[in-house]
Amino acid sequence: MLGISGASPALWSLVLGICLLSAGCVSDKVGNDTTLTAYQQKLVRQGPQQRQDMRGQDPAQAVGLLRPVEPGEPALGTLEIGVDPNTGHRKVPLTLEQAIIRALAHSPEIRVVSFDPEIARQEIRRAAGAFDPVAFGRASYDDQDAPQNSLFQAGESETRLFESGIRQRTVLGTEWSASYLFTRNWDDLSFRALSTRYEPMLAFQLRQPLLRDAGPRVNFAGVDIARLEHEVALVGFRDRAENVSGQVIAAYWRLAQVRRILEIQQELVEQTRQTLRKVEGRREIDATDVQLMQALTYARIREADLLEIRKQVLDAQDALVRLLADPQVNTTSDVTIVPTTVFHDANEPPDPATTLEGALAAAVVHNPALQEARLRIEVADINVRVAQNQTMPRLDLVGSARLQGLAGESSAAHQQLKETEFPSYGVGVTFEYPLGNRQREAEHTRRRLERRRAVAVLHTAADQVAVQVKERTRQVRTTWEQAGVQKEAAQAAATQLKALEESEPIRERLTPEYLLVKLQAQETYAQTQRAQVSAQAEFHVAQAELARVTGTVLRLHRVEDALTTLVTTTSTPEEPRKQPPARGDLPEVTPAGLSYSRPAKLK
C-alpha cells in the first residue's frame, strides 16, 4: 500500500468516470428493418393461430382443432363463396395472389419458425446484459455477549453495518467496483479510546486483464455470436416462408392442372357416350354386337378414369388448403376451389447459358443453405479467436483505493472522509500460467478443426446447390419445349378428330375400322390436351422450384406483392396499422427466365 495525502474527491470522480466510459453502452438492437422482418415480427405479435377447440374437450367440436377461428373483421377481406346452380356445391374462385397471401398470413409452418428470430433476439439481450452495471448492498446487525478472561478482550460488542455500491464488467474485460461502507461499532473494552465509533469508507477496486480475457474482440464474442445466431434464425424463417410460398405456387398450378384434366376427361367421356349412342342407333342398320361392345368398353374405361381424376382433384385441393389454413378455406371446409389464374406461355425460350449463369449467381448470394453456412463460418472464426486468446497466460493489473474515517460521531467521521484524511492506494499485477496448458491448447485445436469443418460444409452445400440449380434450369427449359410440342400435338389431334367427325355423315356404313379409329382419335386428342396442360403446369412449377433453390422466391412479383400487402394491411385489434419499414436492397443477381416483374428489394 502507498499512502498519498492531499487527494481530492475529484480524483475519485475521474476514476469512476473512466470506468463508466470504458464500459460503454452495449446495445442489443439488430438493424434488420426490412419487409421480411416486419412480417416476421407481426406473426410473433399475433401468436399462434386461434382454433375453435385447442384441447379437444368439446364434444360438439369434434374437429374444432382443425378449424381456424374466423376473425371479426378479416384484414385480408373475405373470399367470395358462391353456389353452383347445377350441382349445389359451394365454390370459391381463387387467384394465385390470393392463395399466396393467405398462406403467408395463416400458415402454421411459417408461424412455428417465426418465433425463432425473436428467441434469438432475446439471446442477444442476455449476452449484452453481461455488461450491465450491477448495484449491490448489504445491511447487518451483530450483538455479542461473550465471557472474557482478559482486560484486553471485549466481552460485549455491537456492530451495525451498511454497504452499497456498483460493479460492472466492461467490453475491455475490466472488472471494477465502487462501494460505500458505513460501520457503527461499540464494545466494553476499557482501554479503547472510543467505545462507540463510526467508520465510513469509500472503496474502489479494479482488475484489468492484459493478456487472457483482454480486449473487446474476446469479451464481446458472446454478443457477436448471438447476433449471428439471430441472422441464422432469420435465414431459417425466410427459408420456410420461401418453401411454403413455393409449395403454394406448385399446389395451385397442380390443382389448376388436374381440374383442367378433369374437364378434358369429362369431354372425352361425353364424346364416347355420343359415339356409343350413335352405335346403338345403328344397331338395326349395320352396327354389330362387336362394335357395340367395343364402344361400350371404351365408355366404361373412360368413366372409370374420370372417377380417378375426380379423386385427384380432391387430393390436389386438400394439398392446397392445408397450406392456406384459412378460416374460410381449410381442411374441414366443404367448398370447391376454382383457380382463376390461367396458364401463360413464355414468349421466348429461356436461354440455357443466361439462365444457368444468373441462377448460379443468385444461388451463391441468396440460397438459405449457403447463407447459413457462411454465418456458421463467422461463428467458428469468433470461437477460434476466443480459444486462441485463452491459450495465453493470465496477466492482470489490479488496483484498489479507499478513503476512511474514524470518529466518535457520525458527522465527524464523514467530515474526515470528505477531507480525505486517510487515503490508501494499492496497485499490482497477478500472473498465472498452467504448466503444459493442454486443456486450452486442445480447445484451440478443436475450434480450428470446427472452423475447417464449417468451410467444408459450405463447399459441400455449394456443390449440392449448383447441381440442384442446373437440374431446375434444365427442367425449366425442358418443360417449356414440351409445352410447345404438346400444343402442336394437340392441334394435330384436334384436326384429325374433326376430319373424322366431318366424314362420318357421308359414310354408307359403320365399319369396325372406322369406329376404332374414331375412338382412338378421341383418346389421342384427350391425351395430347392432358399432356399440354401438364407441360404448362410443370413449366410454372419448374420456375417456382428454380426460384426456391436460388433463394429468390420472395422476389417473385406475386410473392413480393403479397408480402407487402400483408405487412401493410394485416393488423391485430390491439395494434394500429403501420406503414412497412424501408426494404433492404439486394444485389441485382436474378436468374433469367423466371418472369420477375420488378427489381428485387427483399432480403
Determine the pLDDT at residue 138: 95
**Largest distance between two CA atoms of the chain:** 147
User: Does residue 591 lie in a domain region?
Assistant: no
- Average pLDDT (193-207) is 91
Give the residue-averaged pLDDT of 543-569.
84
Name the grid cell of 48: 399462434
> Cell 367421356 appears where?
269
> Looking at the structure, do residues 337 and 285 belong to the same domain, yes or no?
yes
From 121-135, 172-186, 349-363, the region with the lowest mean pLDDT:
349-363
Predicted local distance difference test score (pLDDT) of residue 257? 93
Q: Are residues 144 and 241 in the same domain?
A: no
537-550: pLDDT as tens digits = 999 999 999 999 99
Judgement on whether residues 142 and 256 belong to the same structural domain of the protein: no
**Tally of CB atoms within 10 A around 426:** 12
Same domain, 486 and 551: yes
Same domain, 401 and 253: no
In a domain, 115, yes or no: yes
Beta bridge partners of 138: 163
**Phi, psi torsion values for 316, nearest 5 degrees:** -65, -35
Q: Which one-letter DSSP state was computed for residue 174?
A: -
pLDDT (tens digit per residue) in 125-170: 999 999 999 999 999 999 888 777 666 676 788 999 999 999 999 9
The more confidently predicted of residues 261 and 518 is: 261
Q: Name the DSSP class of 420.
A: T
**Per-residue pLDDT tens over the stretch 294-330:** 888 888 998 999 999 999 999 999 999 999 888 888 7
Q: Alpha carbon of 334 to those of 29, 49, 314, 337: distances in Å?
A: 47, 21, 11, 10
| Range of weakest confidence among 13-22, 297-306, 351-360, 405-414 | 13-22
Instruction: Specify the number of domains making up the chain.
Output: 2
Same domain, 147 and 19: yes
Weakest-pLDDT range from 376-380, 426-430, 475-479: 475-479
Q: Between the ranges 25-34, 310-319, 348-357, where is the mean pLDDT highest?
A: 310-319
Domain with 18 in it: 9-29+133-169+174-212+394-432
d(CA 385, CA 398): 25
- pLDDT, tens only, 36-51: 888 888 888 888 777 7
Indicate whether 447 belongs to any domain.
no
Query: In whole angstroms, what is the distance from residue 132 CA to residue 170 CA?
Result: 8
Question: End-to-end alpha-carbon separation of the chain, Å?
Answer: 60
Same domain, 370 and 471: yes
Q: Is residue 486 part of a domain?
A: yes
Residues 504 and 532 in one domain: yes
279 lies in a domain?
yes
Are residues 42 and 25 located together in one domain of the fold? no
For residue 99, what is the domain's CATH number?
1.20.1600.10
Q: Is residue 420 left, alpha or beta, with left meaning phi > 0 and alpha meaning psi from -120 to 50?
A: left
Are 328 and 399 members of one domain?
no
Tell me, what's the pLDDT at 375?
Answer: 95
The pLDDT, as a whole number, for residue 33 is: 72
Asked if residue 592 is part of any domain, the answer here is no
* Structure confidence by residue, pLDDT tens digits, 384-440: 999 999 999 999 999 999 999 999 899 999 999 888 889 999 999 999 998 989 999
Say if residue 412 is in the same domain as residue 486: no
Residue 243 lies in a domain: yes
Give the per-residue pLDDT at 454: 96
Q: Is residue 295 part of a domain?
A: yes
Residue 590 predicted with pLDDT over 50: no
422/520 same-domain check: no
Residue 77 predicted with pLDDT over 90: no
